[in-house]
């Protein structure tokens, strides 16, 4: 049997859910297929990330135009959304700190890029001013980026899912898309349910938002799809800011200057191992919690489910956070690991219609700042790719 439907979305991470929310404002008969048993349950990136609402100054608009644009827009859209729905979100700001001459030159570069990308309110400040904001941070000078924030990703994902479901989207969890073909110029896909039985579906449109599997889905319909996945796991640790005086962090995101690391997949740009505050709830209000995340430290992996390769030792995290000198290896305990959907040799998001079937839209390489960018990506897909 094969069922005709209007829209099939593959993947129930933050991208699939936001696209579902956006499209369900004007379309009906939308089905979202998620292989995990539930939304926010499983090893997807949307449930395992640092929870930073990035400001958008890390991305050069010449080499990474989509990241530069959607990160900026998404940052603002998330703030509005979280305030409207009383979600765990705090605009804590960010310090990008420099300890050496060359890092100070990097700060100049990112300051100029912030202006170019239109990131509001960024200031170049001295080490003394940085210590007034975070007394335990060591810096020769820093950038202060007020629009950076933190959110609790699974709460936000759940809210987007609830709204999309209320607007009529059918969420088929525990259901994996196992084949995607093109027949008579139309997409046709096979799905496998929890009990291993299968069905064929004929959707009018397909949105491929399958995260680390999105390139594999693209290859099902285009053997020569031009991009390859570069799987990189990000590991993070945590410490408690109330434990010792030298570990106290008021609650700002603290980052080094970004670095490019060599990997078997070629050079990869990274924001570096950073400190990110977490949430607590006091009398119904969201406040800065005791735990502080340190990471992610990147490890290239070969499989999307490689959580077995050991994470780096705590000493490695300490070496990468010299801007917070009170932190010792013994203060750290494991936090989480998540595998990112990076692309080999392609630094931007890839959001495009399939080359031979315009009714299939691939959202590929949505690595960081993908969570921040999600609402803006969804608007773009609905307005520009979905016709």
Ligand X SMILES: Cc1cc2nc3c(=O)[nH]c(=O)nc-3n(C[C@H](O)[C@H](O)[C@H](O)COP(=O)(O)OP(=O)(O)OC[C@H]3O[C@@H](n4cnc5c(N)ncnc54)[C@H](O)[C@@H]3O)c2cc1C
Mask of contacts with ligand X, 293-312, x by CB under 6 A? ---x----------------
Is residue 46 within the footprint of ligand X (CB under 6 A)?
yes
Scanning 125-133, 135-143, 207-215, 245-253 for contacts with ligand X by CB under 6 A, the matching segment is 207-215
Is residue 58 within the footprint of ligand X (CB under 6 A)?
no
Q: Which of 158, 148, 15 is nearest to 85 (CA)?
A: 158
- Min dist CB 64 to ligand X, Å, is 14
- Min dist CB 126 to ligand X, Å, is 27
Q: Of 22, 137, 368, 386, which one interacts with ligand X (CB under 6 A)?
A: 368
- Min dist CB 283 to ligand X, Å, is 27
Q: Of 93, 149, 187, 211, which one interacts with ligand X (CB under 6 A)?
A: 211
Nearer to ligand X, 177 or 311 (CB): 177
Name the one residue in this structure whose structure tokens are 């496998």: 192
Nearer to ligand X, 144 or 206 (CB): 206
Is residue 213 within the footprint of ligand X (CB under 6 A)?
yes
Nearer to ligand X, 96 or 210 (CB): 210
Nearer to ligand X, 138 or 192 (CB): 192
- Quickly count: other Cβ atoms within 10 Å of residue 101's Cβ: 9
Give the SS3 label for residue 216: helix
Question: How far, in Å, CA of 328 to CA of 62, rounded?
Answer: 39
Site for ligand X in 139-198 (CB under 6 A): 176-177
Which DSSP string do the residues of 60-116 spell out, in sequence order?
A: -TTT-HHHHHHHHHHHHHHHHHHHHTT-SEE---EEEEE-SHHHHHHHHHHHHHHHH
Is residue 75 within the footprint of ligand X (CB under 6 A)?
no
Q: CA dihedral in degrees (96, 99, 104, 110; nearest 10)? A: -20
Chain mean position to CA 74? 11
Scanning 59-67, 89-97, 138-146, 364-372 for contacts with ligand X by CB under 6 A, the matching segment is 364-372
- Min dist CB 94 to ligand X, Å, is 11
Site for ligand X in 3-42 (CB under 6 A): 10-16, 33-36, 42
Distances (CA, A) of 216 to 43, 100, 195, 220: 17, 42, 23, 7
Question: Is the link from the previous residue into 296 a cis peptide, with omega within 30 of 0?
Answer: yes
Scanning 45-53, 95-103, 139-147, 159-167 for contacts with ligand X by CB under 6 A, the matching segment is 45-53
Ramachandran assignment for 120, one of left (phi > 0), alpha (psi -120 to 50 degrees), beta (any other): beta
Site for ligand X in 264-283 (CB under 6 A): none
Scanning 58-66, 127-135, 282-290, 365-373 for contacts with ligand X by CB under 6 A, the matching segment is 365-373
Distances (CA, A) of 177 to 5, 126, 356, 359: 15, 53, 20, 17
- Min dist CB 186 to ligand X, Å, is 19
Is residue 50 within the footprint of ligand X (CB under 6 A)?
yes
Question: How far, in Å, CA of 226 to CA of 234, rounded?
Answer: 25
Question: How far, in Å, CA of 333 to CA of 68, rounded?
Answer: 33
Which DSSP string do the residues of 245-289 spell out, in sequence order?
A: GGG---S-EEE---EEE--TTS-EEE--SEEEEEEEEETTEEEEE
- Residue positions counted in the chain: 387
Site for ligand X in 227-256 (CB under 6 A): 234
Q: Which residues bind ligand X (CB under 6 A)?
A: 10-16, 33-36, 42, 44-46, 48-52, 54, 176-177, 209-213, 234, 296, 338, 340, 366-372
């Amino acid at each position: 049997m094969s069922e005709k439907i209007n829209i099939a979305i593959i993947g129930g991470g933050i991208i699939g859910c936001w696209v579902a929310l956006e499209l369900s404002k004007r379309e009906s008969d939308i089905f979202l297929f998620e292989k995990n048993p539930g939304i926010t349950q499983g090893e997807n990136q949307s449930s395992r990330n640092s929870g930073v609402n990035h400001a958008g100054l890390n991305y050069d608009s010449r080499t990474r135009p989509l990241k530069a644009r959607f990160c900026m827009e998404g940052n603002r859209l998330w703030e509005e959304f979280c305030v409207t729905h009383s979600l765990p979100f705090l605009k804590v700001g960010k310090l990008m700190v420099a300890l050496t001459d060359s890092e100070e030159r990097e700060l100049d570069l990112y300051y100029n890029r912030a202006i170019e990308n239109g990131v509001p309110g960024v200031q170049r400040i001295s080490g003394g001013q940085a210590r007034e904001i975070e007394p335990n941070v060591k810096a020769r000078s820093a950038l202060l980026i007020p629009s950076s924030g933190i959110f609790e990703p699974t709460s936000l994902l759940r809210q987007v899912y609830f709204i999309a479901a209320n607007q009529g989207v059918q969420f088929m969890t525990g259901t994996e898309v196992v084949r995607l073909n093109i027949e008579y110029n139309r997409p046709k896909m096979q799905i496998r349910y929890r009990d291993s039985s299968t069905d064929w579906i004929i959707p009018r449109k397909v949105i491929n938002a399958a995260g680390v599997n999105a390139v594999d889905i693209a290859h099902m319909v285009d053997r020569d799809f031009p991009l390859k996945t570069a799987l990189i796991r990000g590991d993070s640790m945590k410490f408690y800011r109330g434990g010792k005086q030298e570990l106290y962090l008021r609650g700002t995101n603290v980052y080094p200057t970004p670095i490019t690391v060599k990997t078997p997949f070629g050079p990869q740009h990274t924001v570096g191992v950073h400190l990110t505050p977490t949430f607590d709830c006091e009398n119904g209000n969201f406040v800065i919690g005791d735990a502080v995340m340190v990471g992610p430290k990147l490890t290239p992996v070969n499989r999307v489910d490689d959580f077995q390769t050991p994470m780096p030792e705590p000493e490695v995290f300490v070496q990468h956070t010299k801007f917070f000198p009170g932190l010792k290896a013994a203060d750290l305990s494991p936090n989480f690991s998540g595998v990112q959907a990076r692309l080999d040799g392609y630094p931007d998001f890839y959001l495009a219609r399939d080359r031979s079937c315009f009714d299939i839209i691939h959202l590929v390489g949505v690595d960081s700042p993908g969570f921040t960018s999600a609402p803006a990506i969804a608007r773009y897909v609905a307005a520009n790719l979905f016709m």
